Amino acid sequence: MKNNLLSRRTFVKTTSLGVTGSALSIGGLSSIYLAAPQEADKLAILGGSPVRHAGTNLEVSWPIFDDTDIKMYLDAFKSKKWSEYSYSPQELSFRFKKAFAEMMGVGFCAPTNSGTDALDAAQRALDIGPGDEVITQTNTFIATAQTTFNLFALPVFVDTDPETFMINADLIEERITENTRAILPVHIGGGAADMDKIMAIAKKHNLVVIEDTCQAQHGEWNHKKLGSIGDLGCFSFQAGKSLCAGEGGAVIGNNDDIMARVEAYTNNGRDPRGMKRTFPGSNFRITPFVATTLIGQMRRLEAQSKIRDENVAYLEKLLSEIKGVRPTKKYAGQTRRAYYEYQLIYEKEHFKNVPKIKFREAIAAEGIPLGNGIDSSLHKDPFIETYFNLRTFKKIFSKERLDKYRRENLCPVNEMIDKETGVSLGQRVFLGSKKDMEDIVTAIAKIQKNASKLL
């Protein structure tokens, strides 16, 4: 506690409460910080004591499970039914897909063995293929675009909204061509893309919408679950996600025919409505072990989301008292956020122009694991040229078309966010205590006060 820059009295007042009764009532964090004793002042990166001492990790141990999860897993193991493909109600994967569809408020769910495969199956079911274009964003995990390239189609990267860090929906229409088939927005970090605008554009141009919801399980748009707004929604259950099973994924949707194609693709072409092989297919089936792990994890998703919601509300209240690090904005339709990487905006002018990279080093030394936001600028990634150099790509796309693609492939705002403003905190941070939130803001205020020493 010695170096916690919130006074002990303030700490006691704030930790046991929710967002009310906070430190802010006595003058704001900055002023609390300014009143802190000098010995707490020296930045950890310059040899001082950190706000968080080693061994007091801000990120809770993840994933979380209990004896019931272990029993469920062992039961699946002992059953000796180690693979499932018949869609019979006795199967664990069937139970999972019904439960997930219900949780998401949709008619159908097709489990897959990763989020990447969910995106693949979704695009294949919509018959996206050679020469097509899919409008997506640059600040996402590589799989979003890779799965389009894998179909010999082109992901067209749209720049990022500097305030929300979501795809800038106002820039979508100008990228639509006669080859565009789909819009693939990503609910990046757990926030929501502007689905009202995106759906209106899709309707106007007769395009399908696939929501990459891999980072946004349980978020909502106008009180409907993210992933259920577009034609299809794709999820990842990789270990870092807030609903996880190590590896795993799912596609959700409401259209019987489209979802039958998705499901068939995941199950070697078997139409779930009779098991005839009437569609193209591969094998993306999940194991019963993944299914039972997910059924177990779903028991705690809502409770965990509530804890994160409360901690984020408290953090945002504390942050409103200082300048220089602020939450990204949300669109009006976002009625609930989800959690993967909570994104914030760093404004160096409030830190004597200390560059983001230096700020992140300083706050890491204080024991706060502040990430770089969703730091990919995929439009600049060399993987694009890797595809373009394939013999098969050269066969499908003319040199002129690929040159045009290169010329138009610009996302300057996202590059600025990567370099200057984007920072983030992982979902595990928000399963901690109110004091954890205070430590984050204390560390920010400490660096702000001492910013000139970092130059």
Ligand X SMILES: Cc1ncc(COP(=O)(O)O)c(C=O)c1O
Q: Closer to ligand X at the Cβ: 212 or 438? A: 212
Choose, by CB under 6 A, the member of 236, 292, 421, 450 that binds ligand X: 236
Query: 10 or 287: whose CB is closer to ligand X?
Result: 287
Q: Which of residues 314-353 bind ligand X (CB under 6 A)?
A: none
Q: Is 233 in the site for ligand X (CB under 6 A)?
A: no
Q: Which of 123, 138, 148, 215 binds ligand X (CB under 6 A)?
A: 215
CB of 438 to ligand X, least distance (A): 29
Q: How far is the CB of 126 from ligand X (least distance, A)?
A: 17
**Which of 319, 343, 328 lies closest to 448, judged by CA?**
319
Min separation Cβ 217 and ligand X, Å: 11
Stretch binding ligand X (CB under 6 A), from 1-9, 114-122, 191-199, 278-286: 114-122
Asked whether 44 and 53 are in contact (CB, 8 A), the reply is no
CA–CA distance, 366 with 45 (Å, rounded to integer): 7
Polymer length in residues for the chain: 455
Query: What are the structure tokens assigned to 45, written together?
Result: 């990166």
Own/partner pairs, 78-87, CB within 8 angstroms, 24+ separation? 79/288, 81/288, 82/287, 82/288, 82/289, 83/285, 83/287, 83/288, 84/285, 84/287, 84/288, 84/291, 85/267, 85/268, 85/270, 85/285, 86/275, 87/272, 87/275
Distance, in Å, from the CA atom of 445 to the CA atom of 70, rounded to the nearest integer, reads: 43
Q: Which is nearer to ligand X, 4 or 236 (CB)?
A: 236
CB of residue 385 vs ligand X: minimum separation in angstroms?
21
Helix (H) or strand (E) holding 300: helix 288-319
Nearer to ligand X by Cβ, of 48 and 190: the residue is 190
Residues 276-315 that bind ligand X (CB under 6 A): none
Residue 238 CB, shortest distance to ligand X, in Å, is: 4
State the minimum distance, in angstroms, from the CB of residue 37 to ligand X. Answer: 43
CA 164, 109, 87: angle at the middle one, nearest 5?
Answer: 160
Of 44, 214, 245, 363, the one binding ligand X by CB under 6 A: 214
Smaller CB separation from ligand X, 115 or 288: 115
Among 84, 120, 212, 231, binds ligand X (CB under 6 A): 212
Here the tokens at position 331 are 């669109």
Q: Which residue's entry shows tokens 């990204």?
A: 328
Q: Which of 48, 50, 111, 115 binds ligand X (CB under 6 A)?
A: 115
Contact 352, 451 (CB under 8 A): yes
With contacts defined by CB under 6 A, how many residues of the chain interact with ligand X?
Answer: 14
Across-strand partners of 160?
A: 167
| Per-residue contact flags (x/-) with ligand X for residues 349 to 388, judged by CB under 6 A | ----------------------------------------
Q: Would you count residue 69 as binding ligand X (CB under 6 A)? A: no
CA–CA distance, 218 with 421 (Å, rounded to integer): 27
Query: Which residue's structure tokens are 């089936």?
Result: 285
Contacting residue, 3, 93, 114, 343, with ligand X by CB under 6 A: 114
What is the three-class DSSP state of 344? strand
List binders of ligand X among 135-164 (CB under 6 A). Answer: 140-141, 143-144
Residue 301 CB, nearest approach to ligand X (Å) = 17
CB of 417 to ligand X, least distance (A): 16
DSSP H helices, 59-212, are: 67-78, 92-104, 115-125, 143-149, 195-205
> The tokens 């965990």 sit on which residue?
304
Contacting positions for ligand X (CB under 6 A): 114-116, 140-141, 143-144, 186, 212, 214-215, 236, 238, 249
